[in-house]
Structure 1
Amino acid sequence: MKITGYRCLTTQHDWGRPVGDVNGHVDSGITEVPILVLETDAGIEGVATGSTHDVDRLFPAIEGEDPRAVASLYDRMIARVFKSGHAGATFGGIGTIDAALWDIKAKLAGEPLWRLLGARDRYVDGYASGLDIALDDERLAALYGSMAERGYTSGKLKGGRDVADDVRRLRIVEEALHRNAEHPGLMLDANESWHRKQAVRHVSAIERELDLVWIEEPLRRWDAAGHAALSRAVRASVATGENLTGLEQYRPLMDAGAVDVVQIGAVWGVTHFLRVAVAAHARDLPVSLVGHTADAAVVHAAAAVPNTMPTEVQDLGSPIGVTIDQAFQDGGIVLGDEPGAGIRIDESEIAARMAGDGWRSAAGPHVRSHRTGLRLATERTA
């Protein structure tokens, strides 16, 4: 069996609300979702969502190879971009190809991916997360109320601009989830918007009012010394790692005691998730999958490792033309029985309904302000 080709598609996800974080937001709530389809001479195709960046440059590393050799092909892709490096957007292409390879491997075995990877249970515990920085209080309450109806007991708020706003909004999340838990788990995500002392002051002020499970991405992703200092200074766990591209980027933070919850981005692939989870497990650290919406393959891996904390559930819908064999219920994700990762696509529907700029908007959260972390006064949002 050989890999013979690939197709790259782009669909869109309509969130039904503005989505973003402290760095910016997409007001339309419509974002693009890249899809990769790997083709084989046996007619079995691997489907994955995530990123199609640099796929044309990476494909020669797997062309003509047996797709079942997933771990070896992952390393061939890393080696293929040795000189320019695999970090950043290129790593997204590697991760999406990797997820498509795992989809093929599980389809050939006639098993859902979670079973192939060794999971005992199809259920993956989750927490609610709305990318909610642009929502007013009423819409915030409605969003987390809808997540509470699915059984979620914990929620993560986007914040970091103003302590009073964050406390008020966290209480709204807490009240919405209170129907399922006496003390709902609360997390705050600052998306790398603070310097070290800002982080200590902000989190300490919130902790005088509320109990935080973790503070997420408080500092720049590579700041091992800063994260370690913050972890010692506050009660909340420090969670970070979703934007680290490669196992080697995690080691300095782990070795410095800089991360209490090791986060792994859903778009970086199954093999990456498994390797980071093993490295974290060897240090008695939990891992948490970040950004699960249509990234179905990697949540199967989350079901199969022993140190998984709840997975971030950002939305209950699916992108245009994408059907995923999973259900959001009982406060988590229930994976299905379809062989592979359970992703099916309707290419004609995708082609008929595309419009807009999505994440590529200049006002979106992927564009960092040049004054982030450098202001003396915080910004009020209400």
Structure 2
Amino acid sequence: MKITGYRCIRSYHDWGRPVGDVNGFVESGITEVPIVVIETDAGITGYGTGSHEGIDRVFPALEGQDPLAVTTLYDRMLARVFKAGHAGATFGGIGTLDMALWDIKAKAAGQPLWRLLGGGDRFVAGYASGLDIALSDEQLAKFYHEMGNRGFRSGKLKGGRDVEDDIRRLGIVSDALARDSTRPALMLDANESWNLKQAVRYVSRVEEVHDLTWIEEPLRRWDAAGNARLSASIRAAVATGENLSGLEQYRPLLDANAVDIVQAAAVWGITNFLRVSIAAHSRDLPMSPVGLTANAGVAHAAAAIPNHLSAEVQDLGAPFGTTVDAEYADGGIVLGEEPGVGLIVDEAKILAEGQKSASWLIPQGPHVRPSRAGLRLVAEPSDAR
């Protein structure tokens, strides 16, 4: 079997609510979902979701190759951008192609990817995450009640601006998830918005009221020394890694004992997730994948690693024109038996609707860092609500 070509299409996800974090949010609740289609001469098509960035530059590393040699092709893609570098958005394009390759490999084997990778259980433990900075208290309670009805007993709040506000809202999340647990696990995600001492003071105050399971991305992603000092100063675990684009970027944090829960973003692909998981496992550290809503393949990979802790579940829906062969129940993801990564794409439906561009990268969105992040002496009123 040989790879003969690729196509890029663009769908969208309608979250039904504003989504974002302390850095900003998308008021419309509609975001684009880039999809890449890899074609083969055997008629097997692979689908990947995540990013179109850099695909035209790295696809020559795949053309004419055997798609079953997934890990070899992954390294060929990295080598293709050797001088320019693979970090940042290009890493997302590589990850999207990587997902499509794994989709082909599992389809050729007639197996769901979780089984092909050696997973023995289709259940992937998860936690609820509403991307909820812009939700009112009532909307916040409604979202986590709905997730509690699906058996979720842990939730992650987006916060980091006003500690008393976050303490109150963590209480709302806890109450909403208390249906099946008297002590739901609570996490707080600051999205790199603090400096070290801000983080120590902020988390210490939260811990006076709540037994915080982890604090996520409290400092800049590369701050190994700062994250290590923070971890030693608080009870909560430090979770970070979702914005590290490459296995080599984890080394300083692992060497400095700066991360307690290792994270990897689903958009970076399956091979990256598996490699980071091995590195974490060598340090007896748990893994937690981030952002599985439109990147179904990493859930399959999570089912196959020995150190998976919990996966972020942000929404119960799927991007327009797609179906994911999985259910959300019992506080996690129940993967199906569809061969491949379980992503079914109705290309005709997407094209008939019209491909939508609804970028996260708007000035007021969460992917643009505010100029005063980490530089505020006192809490300022949030304009998120």
TM, length-normalised to structure 1: 0.99
Distance in 2 separating the partners of 1:342 and 1:119 = 15
Distance in 2 separating the partners of 1:123 and 1:163 = 35
Matched, 1:315 2:315: yes
- Does the 8 Å CA contact 1:19/1:133 hold for their aligned counterparts? yes
Question: 1:304 corresponds to which residue?
Answer: 304
Question: 1:249 corresponds to which residue?
Answer: 249
Matches within 5 A, 1:211-226: 211-226=211-226
Question: 2:65 corresponds to which residue?
Answer: 65
In the TM superposition, what whole-angstrom CA distance separates every residue of 1:302-347 from its partner, at most 9, and x where no partner exists? 0000000110000000010011101111100000001001111112
Matched, 1:364 2:365: yes
Q: CA deviation at 1:357?
A: 2.8
In the TM superposition, what whole-angstrom CA distance separates every residue of 1:187-244 from its partner, at most 9, and x where no partner exists? 0000000000000000000001111000000000000000000000000000000000
Distance in 2 separating the partners of 1:380 and 1:259 = 30
Q: CA deviation at 1:377?
A: 1.2
- Does the 8 Å CA contact 2:151/2:330 hold for their aligned counterparts? yes
Q: CA deviation at 1:354?
A: 4.3
Matches within 5 A, 1:71-90: 71-90=71-90
Q: CA deviation at 1:380?
A: 3.0
- Does the 8 Å CA contact 2:191/2:217 hold for their aligned counterparts? yes
SS at match of 2:305: coil
In the TM superposition, what whole-angstrom CA distance separates every residue of 1:342-379 from its partner, at most 9, and x where no partner exists? 11111222121544634132211001011110111112
- Does the 8 Å CA contact 1:30/1:356 hold for their aligned counterparts? no
- Does the 8 Å CA contact 1:165/1:380 hold for their aligned counterparts? no
Distance in 2 separating the partners of 1:250 and 1:73 = 22
AA of the residue aligned to 2:374: G
- Does the 8 Å CA contact 2:12/2:319 hold for their aligned counterparts? yes
Distance in 2 separating the partners of 1:373 and 1:268 = 26
SS at match of 1:42: coil
SS at match of 2:12: strand
Distance in 2 separating the partners of 1:282 and 1:361 = 39
Matched, 1:374 2:380: no
Question: 1:273 corresponds to which residue?
Answer: 273
SS at match of 2:120: coil
Matches within 5 A, 1:9-158: 9-158=9-158
Q: CA RMSD in A?
A: 0.9
AA of the residue aligned to 2:338: E
Distance in 1 separating the partners of 2:219 and 2:343 = 35
Question: 2:238 corresponds to which residue?
Answer: 238
- Does the 8 Å CA contact 2:11/2:356 hold for their aligned counterparts? no
SS at match of 1:213: strand
**Aligned pair in 2 of structure 1 residues 7, 129: CA closer, same or farther (>3 Å)?**
same
Identity over the aligned pairs, expressed in percent? 68
Distance in 2 separating the partners of 1:347 and 1:108 = 21
SS at match of 1:118: coil
- Long gaps (5+) in structure 1: none
SS at match of 1:210: coil
AA of the residue aligned to 1:57: R
AA of the residue aligned to 2:67: P
Distance in 1 separating the partners of 2:209 and 2:260 = 22
SS at match of 2:8: strand
SS at match of 1:359: coil
Distance in 1 separating the partners of 2:49 and 2:243 = 17
AA of the residue aligned to 1:339: P
Distance in 1 separating the partners of 2:295 and 2:76 = 23
Distance in 2 separating the partners of 1:47 and 1:217 = 30
Question: 2:209 corresponds to which residue?
Answer: 209
AA of the residue aligned to 1:222: W
- Does the 8 Å CA contact 2:21/2:131 hold for their aligned counterparts? yes
Distance in 1 separating the partners of 2:212 and 2:361 = 32
AA of the residue aligned to 1:72: T
Distance in 2 separating the partners of 1:349 and 1:270 = 27
TM, length-normalised to structure 2: 0.98
Q: How many residues align?
A: 382
In the TM superposition, what whole-angstrom CA distance separates every residue of 1:53-97 from its partner, at most 9, and x where no partner exists? 111000000110000000100000000000000000010011111
In the TM superposition, what whole-angstrom CA distance separates every residue of 1:26-46 from its partner, at most 9, and x where no partner exists? 000000000010000111000
**Aligned pair in 2 of structure 1 residues 353, 60: CA closer, same or farther (>3 Å)?**
closer
Distance in 1 separating the partners of 2:157 and 2:180 = 18
Distance in 1 separating the partners of 2:180 and 2:254 = 34
Distance in 1 separating the partners of 2:357 and 2:21 = 20
Question: 1:176 corresponds to which residue?
Answer: 176
